Chain A
Amino acid sequence: MKPIWPAAQAAFALLLLALTVIGQDDLSALLAQLGDNQFEILAVGALEAHTPDPRIMPALEEAFDRRKAKEEKQEIAVTLIRLGNRSAKYFDFLAGFARAAVDDRTPFFMDFDQNGRAIRGQFSAEFLNWCAINHQDPKVTAAKQFGYPKDVLSLARAKDPRAIEIFRKGLESPYPNVVGFSVQGLARLQDTAAMPLIEKACERLRGGRDAVAMELPWFATREAEALMERLMPDRNDRDFMTRQIQGLRLIELRQSVSRAAVNAK
């Protein structure tokens, strides 16, 4: 190792000190934001990207207990799991909503045209019939269905292998976006063995297969690409979706690699 000049050495030490102080201030501010009544959900994301610190996990756990809104709790739970917290508490919270979504077998509320595209503002006859027989309000039932994909997406973003069975069950759902986000969940976990099940799910869906096709680039495998080609024949369409997914995949990959590198030090 080359000797460093004393002045440069001092400057380097000062720089390190400054960076450390900035880092601590930054972390303190982020942790304080978690305690704010006006919830800064941004702080959760920033804490995930922050250099590991023993204060982060307990602060997020406290925030999870304190927060009441489902969406906020989901976001914190996703972050805790991605940071390596294996507690069943956080997984169960996410899995509970996702299970409700994948278990529901009420007919999908939207109707499809002859090309399998959902028709805006049109309930399917099968759905209306089911609501009539079961004395359910179509709008209330449809609203419940519309909320499902977000719950499956939250679990998918957590990248927790315990969720594989839930996502596989999600492939049997009548709701295209629940199937789509289940595919994303399986892809994030690289469950390539699920590919035949995904193909079967696409054959079974009455329409909305695009919602499944657009999640396939998460796999980044030749097999997934081939299935996408079948489901989305237009090349421009495929390229656009592939670029969109790959961009996000790359950002997330970079983040997890840099986190792993810091943890390894």
Chain B
Amino acid sequence: MVGFSASTPSVGPSADHVTLAIISTNDKATITLTYVSPCGATATDSFTFALTNDTTVVAWIDKGPIFPGSGLLSPSDQVFMGLTDPTRCVGFLGLWASYGQQGVGKVNNNLTAQEIQFAIQYLNAGSGNNQPPSNPNTFDYVNGQDYRLYQRFQAYYEIANGAINPATVRYLTTYATNGVTPEPCSGFQILSVASQPNPRNGEFGLTSDGSLVYQLNEARVGTAGQQVNQFLNGPIFGNWVAATPWIWSTIQFDANGKTRSWIQGSNLQIFPAYQVFTNGSPYSLGSFPESLANLMSFIALNTTSQYTVPSK
């Protein structure tokens, strides 16, 4: 992980300085300085430090795996016609949001199971994102908000007795933001509405047990989306604010400076798709595609599905 820099002029009794360079990240290194006195006595001191990967995680909705197949609902079905016709779709969503606000839910929304499933798939796919670019750490991509979540994080710290020394944790990059929800009706995604960031979105630091340095990125759809979700998936007489689960990613670095493994349902929510980038490049083991099964499991959750531990 470390080595002598090319700028180190010489080695030996006449050398007045040495420069060490970082060669790689996602690891720890121990630097030991030993003094040997002319009479042969020695004094040694050392410290171990970790430098993590510069890690970026993008959460995005990939419409491909969830777009409803042609057999799911007849084209003459009212929900099919209503959602696929852009002008009707606007009316439908206005109506469904009002119903959701009144606590109408899955059991009493007068829709069939197939209509509900079609609506869930169609609306999610219709508000999908483009696949993240090979380098997402550009101003245009971050500013364009064509994602559900975006975060970037890198830290360094010293390690003593196998644990992170809290006083030494420093951050090279900390950034977490939520994207927007494109409208699903027009086919242009002509307008996007704000999503709701979790109060803990952007939280970073050392976990209370001192084992991990982490950053949390967490959000969910905005007001209208939550109301429509109550109508389609919520309980009867449900509180629409409580109906919608959160999506999150948590970048976690351990006491060896390594990025903790990615697990959907743990440091990633089970939906949507996630792409992890390390030091600016897509991480080959960090691609978590979407599936219809995961979408259906996700929409059965509610607001209690949010990131909890480990945290500060």
Contact = CB atoms under 8 A, between A and B. Distances in A.
A180 interface: yes
Which of B85, B87, B188 counts the most chain A CB atoms within 10 A?
B87
A33 to B, nearest CB: 10
- Interface residues of chain B: helix, strand, loop or mixed (majority): helix
A120 B187 contact: yes
Contacts of B91: 177, 180-181, 210-211, 214-215
Given A42-B239, A236-B78, A251-B102, A210 B86 contact: no
A230 to B, nearest CB: 17
Contacts of B98: 157, 248
A50 to B, nearest CB: 15
A161 to B, nearest CB: 21
Nearest to A147: B191
A251 B100 CA distance: 12
Given A38-B199, A214-B91, A247-B99, A118 B86 contact: yes
A97 interface: no
Nearest to A241: B78
A157 B84 CA distance: 25
Interface in B36-84: 76, 78, 81, 84
A149 interface: yes
Contacts of B183: 146
A120 B186 contact: yes
Nearest to B126: A120
Interface string B160-199: 0000000000000000000000010011101100000001
B190 A143 contact: yes
B2 to A, nearest CB: 45
B87 A42 contact: no
Interface string A135-161: 000010011001101100100010000
A177 B89 CA distance: 10
B101 A120 contact: no
- Interface residues of chain A: helix, strand, loop or mixed (majority): helix
Interface residues of B, number: 29
Given A120-B86, A236-B78, A146 B190 contact: yes
A177 B78 CA distance: 18
A244 B110 contact: yes
Interface in A102-134: 109-110, 117-122
B88 A211 contact: yes
Nearest to A43: B241
A229 interface: no
Contacts of B223: 41, 71
B104 A247 contact: yes
B187 A121 contact: yes
B95 interface: yes
B90 interface: yes
A99 to B, nearest CB: 19
B214 interface: no
B110 A243 contact: yes
Interface of A: 38, 40-42, 45, 71, 109-110, 117-122, 139, 142-143, 146-147, 149-150, 153, 157, 176-177, 180-181, 207-208, 210-211, 214-215, 236-237, 240-241, 243-245, 247-248, 251-252
8 contacts: A42-B239, A109-B190, A142-B186, A177-B90, A207-B87, A210-B85, A237-B78, A251-B99
